[in-house]
Amino acid sequence: MSETVADRGKDRALGAKGEATRQRLMDAAEEIFGTKGFYHTSVGDITAKAGVAQGTFYLYFPTKVDIFRALVEHLSHVLRTETEVATQGARDRLEAERLGIDAFFKFVHRHRNLYRIVRQAEFVDEALYKWYYERMARGYARKLQDAMQRGEIRTMDPDLLAWCLMGISDYTGMRYILWKEENQADAAKLLDFLTAGLAPEKG
């Protein structure tokens, strides 16, 4: 995954109209993949929803898999960006965790279909599925390690901790937002549970 679909798209000078058409296709694919699933969606379904000719699709994406990959890459970028913005100015790592969890739950609430698309990726493109989580975990682990060095959280394997925290947020979001369609789970209550394990050891 050294070069993403989004990266390749930047090499093509689409112009404002072309970018708008590409975004319409992306929005349509997000909705249909999220509701019908990848294997039950056709290129015709996407173009009909986007309101463009079927041949137009192939000016932007060589195959249905390519637009699926672009959506996963887009989700990765937007989620990481929103989390970064939400946690800026946090006083310490525990506050950053609370703000980050809250931002993640709000993101899931707004992008239920994209959340479902990532789960489908395991069966559509396993390498893409692993890339999505591994890329997120690398940056997360670095932030946790920095916090350990500052004494804000207890010292442990930062990579292991990153994956554990990602798993907790991921499945909590799935249960209380994706399945129950609530506005958001209570990040503060979840952090109360995590604080005992993350807090620095006394003495």
pLDDT tens, position by position, 48-84: 999 999 999 999 999 999 999 999 999 899 999 999 9
How many Å apart are CA 104 and CA 198, to the nearest integer?
19
On the question of pLDDT at 32 being above 60, the answer is yes
Q: pLDDT class for 164, splitting at 50, 70, 90?
A: very high
Is residue 162 a contact partner of residue 134, using CB atoms and an 8 Å limit? no
Question: 10 or 132, which is more confident?
Answer: 132
pLDDT at 10: 45
On the question of pLDDT at 27 being above 70, the answer is yes
| 24-28, 72-76, 187-191: range with lowest mean pLDDT | 187-191
Distances (CA, A) of 21 to 47, 49, 58, 60, 66: 10, 12, 12, 9, 16
What's the one-letter identity of residue 135? Answer: R
The pair of three-digit structure tokens given for residue 192, joined into one six-digit string? 């109360």
Strand, helix or coil for residue 144: helix
pLDDT at 7: 47
CATH 1.10.10.60 domain span(s) along the chain:
12-62
E strands in the chain: none
Q: According to CATH, what is the number of the domain 12-62? A: 1.10.10.60
Is residue 128 a contact partner of residue 1, using CB atoms and an 8 Å limit? yes
Per DSSP, 11 falls in state T
pLDDT at 106: 86
Please state whether the predicted TM-score (pTM) of the whole model is above 0.75.
yes
Is residue 74 a contact partner of residue 156, using CB atoms and an 8 Å limit? no
Mean pLDDT across the chain? 86
Cβ contacts of residue 152 below 8 Å, gap of 6+?
Answer: 92, 93, 94, 200
Q: Which CATH superfamily is domain 64-203 in?
A: Tetracycline Repressor, domain 2 (1.10.357.10)
pLDDT at 5: 52
Q: pLDDT class for 186, splitting at 50, 70, 90?
A: low
pLDDT at 71: 94
Q: pLDDT class for 203, splitting at 50, 70, 90?
A: low
CATH 1.10.357.10 domain span(s) along the chain:
64-203
pLDDT at 9: 47
